[in-house]
Structure 1
Amino acid sequence: MRRLFLATALWIAIGLTAIAQVTFTITEVPGNTPAGATIYAAGNFNGWDEGASDFALAAQPDGTYTLTFEPEPGTLMFKFTRGSWATVEGNADGGFLPNRSLEYPGGVLEVDLEILSWEGDSPGNSTAADNVTVIAEDFYMPQLDRDRRIWVYLPPDYNSSTATYPVLYMQDGQNLFDAATAAFGEWEVDESLNTLFEEGDAGVIVVGIDNGGSSRLDEYSPWVNPSYGGGEGDAYVDFIVETLKPYIDAQYRTRPERDFTGIMGSSMGGLISLYAAIEHQDVFSKAGVFSASFWFADECYAHVGNQGKQEDMRIYMIAGEQEGSSEQQVVDMLAMEQALLAAGFSVSEINTVGHPDGTHSEWYWRREFPPAYEWLFAAIASDLQEGNLNMERVEVYPNPGSDTVEIRWDSADPLNIRVFTMQGKQVRLIQPEGQQMSLTGLPAGTYLIGFYLENGQCVGTKRLIQK
């Protein structure tokens, strides 16, 4: 009987020590918290899902909020939100709050916490430069039947010049310009580009596309990962190419040709950026691929080989040796470099950089953005600064055009003319005789005419409407 008692006591003791249970109790919330708001925990214990229903805190009669869950022992990194990173908690001043950190040894743990503010709710909290605007909070994505916030950064001289600019499309828009919307810190893309402009850079337009929160993994991979999702990447890229890019080219003074169009992102955003560049080499000529999540889908390597090199490209890849518990991120990047070389891209088209101190975080990508941008766009810097036509003295008529249009320009140099769709795809290459250009067979729509010297330098662009 004594043995039975001891055995039972031992199993009870083992069972108690094996319990893994953490309870968060939020004792105070900001006074401006909307009535009936649901508060969520997002952290490394749930894939940083900012609105996961299983991690919604329960409102208690005494005004507190509680959540009990069963994480693995270790360091818990987390934040609280009201369902999206746009409503993440902030510091006492309403600004950026670093991730919370809690060492959890296992067993039963109860923690009392306070939420000091909701980031971005305090007036004047934005860190975005004056030349950054949100052009739409709800830009419609017909390919996915969703809405998305879109940001645009314009060069400092955009409103005081008639210049046209290359365009860089970037993922995770909420993390690029404004600490008030960046849950993990911002890239400071606007500050970096404004500084480079002051140092002589010709400027670039940056289009930031917010990620879809809970749809982020689905949208940022065309391939399905059985554990994490994916599969909507083609539709997302089609949105950029077929809907967003035509809109940006129509609304702003862009250079829509592929030579002046790049795409960039980090983590899953790096995966989808490289996919877009390889899949649409007729649209993009540059890709910034930061800490790409190639692990998410092994198919990404075969995709590069299947597509092969179709156009000259510039691909800048970085990874840090401190990303995770090993150097796997760097190993994956080097494997992708080999896949690109095997597909026909040259060593000069690929810049692969590993950093011993690099971590999977915004501070690292913020630091590495300027050199990546300068390398990607270095090849066209002289084109943007030298030899531009006075486009006010370029005549294209009739415009709207019919079967034939006349073109006159204020230049003694012989020029070649290329005609592009508003998506940046070249549809005509013409060496005009007598400054006449035939448009026979060109479908009705809006096009861009590019004027090129014999050495390939673009010296100006002009819009054309074909009836």
Structure 2
Amino acid sequence: MFRWLMTFLALWGWTAPLAVQDEGRLIGYERIAAAGLPDQRLTIWLPPGYDAGARRYPVVYMHDGHNLFDLSQSNFNKIWAADKAMLAVVESGTVEPHIIVGIWAPGADRYRQYLPRSAYDAARKGLRAQMDAAAKGPVVSDRYLAWIAGPLKAWVDSSFRTRPGRDDTAIVGSSMGGLMSCYAFLERPEVFGRAGCVSSHWPAVDPQAVADGDSALASLWDEWFAARLGEPAGRRVWFDHGTATLDAYYAPYQNVVDARMTAAGWQKGRDWESRVYDGAEHEENAWAARLPEIFGWLLAKDPQPQR
């Protein structure tokens, strides 16, 4: 039994706990092989009390896991402080504690791993050429999604005390990770009942390389959602953006997506939310500032419709 366990942990690149504290526990996993993808890496946060009880927990999967918890591991010395946001909403009584699975971005392969494959396939020739130039390799988000929804989730559910159902499984990311979260929500509705699409990079490429509010690009997103959205059926999705730096380019596309949500019969405030943060930039400190609000709505048991 011990030999089997050590072989399994070696396969998953297990490392010792990164931190043990009253505010939860972080565990790191390195060099995870995933079919057709660059090696993956995880940082998992377990809520306070996890090790002492038998409770089962809902799970939030988050992209760019290196930027979630630890400044020393972050790209820009900025983090989402996802554990602190979760603790805050749990303390408020609006949200149950969740396990957070942070999936690190694979360096230079991040773009091609996060660009939704079905949107890439539907893009017009000129836009697809720009996507190809940015990707510098095959777009593999379909494989990434299959890995998260399949082997990764199965391992998380078998290794930790989770509640594996759709309504207890969320996926959250920003920028290209926002697009990837929308992709997971639309393509695998039986797996992900909650999605946070934060500062989604709707231009998909350098926004200065496409016309402001490009109508063909806006139509791409409109048609992409229209073909896949379906009925809410208890699902819930959050959209947002700021108004500065890269986020300043997002409003025309987000407005199209918002209109599609309404046209599809989704009720704002209950099934979906879309908010604008005046002056907020496209960076981790801005996302950290609003993450308690995101978690508080997205993960709440019973969000209240807007009046």
TM-score by length of 2: 0.77
Provide the residue aligned with 2:276 in structure 1. 354
What is the one-letter code of the residue matched to 2:273? N
Q: Does 1:307 align with 2:228?
A: yes
Aligned length: 254
Equivalence map 1:217-228=2 (5 Å): 217-221=111-115, 222=117, 223=120, 224=128, 225-228=131-134
Matches within 5 A, 1:356-435: 356-379=278-301
SS at match of 1:327: helix
Moved over 4 A (4+): 126-130
Shift of 1:127: 8.7
Q: 1:165 deviation in Å?
A: 0.9
For the 8 Å contact 1:151–1:208, the answer to whether it is kept is yes
Question: Matches of residues 90-105 of structure 1 in structure 2 within 5 Å?
Answer: none
CA distance in 2, matches of 1:128, 1:190: 13
Larger RCO (CA within 8 A; separation ≥ 6)? 2
Whole-Å separation in 1 of the counterparts to 2:75 and 2:19? 13
Looking at secondary structure, tell me which structure has more helix per residue: 2
- Displacement after TM superposition at 1:328 (Å): 2.3
**1:53-452 counterparts in 2 under 5 A?**
131-144=24-37, 146-184=38-76, 185-200=78-93, 201-221=95-115, 222=117, 223=120, 224=128, 225-229=131-135, 231-296=139-204, 298=217, 299-310=220-231, 311-324=233-246, 327-347=248-268, 348-379=270-301
Residue 292 to residue 186, structure 1, CA distance change in 2 (3 Å): same
Q: Which has the larger radius of gyration?
A: 1
CA contact (8 A) 1:169 1:208 kept: yes
Following TM superposition, by how much is the alpha carbon of 1:231 offset from its aligned partner in structure 2, in angstroms? 2.1
Give the secondary-structure state (helix, strand or coil) at the position aligned to 2:262: helix
Q: Unaligned stretches of 5+ in structure 2?
A: 1-17, 121-127, 206-216
Structure 1 spans left out of the alignment, 5+ residues: 1-125, 382-467
Asked if the contact 1:127/1:178 (under 8 Å) is kept, the reply is no
| Structure with more of its chain in strand, by fraction | 1
| TM-score, scaled relative to structure 1 | 0.51
**SS at 2:244's partner residue?**
coil
Percent of paired sites with the same residue: 29
Letter in 1 for 2:134: Y
Contact 2:89 2:296 in 1 (8 A): no
CA shift for structure 1 position 142? 1.6
306-315 or 267-276: bigger deviation: 306-315
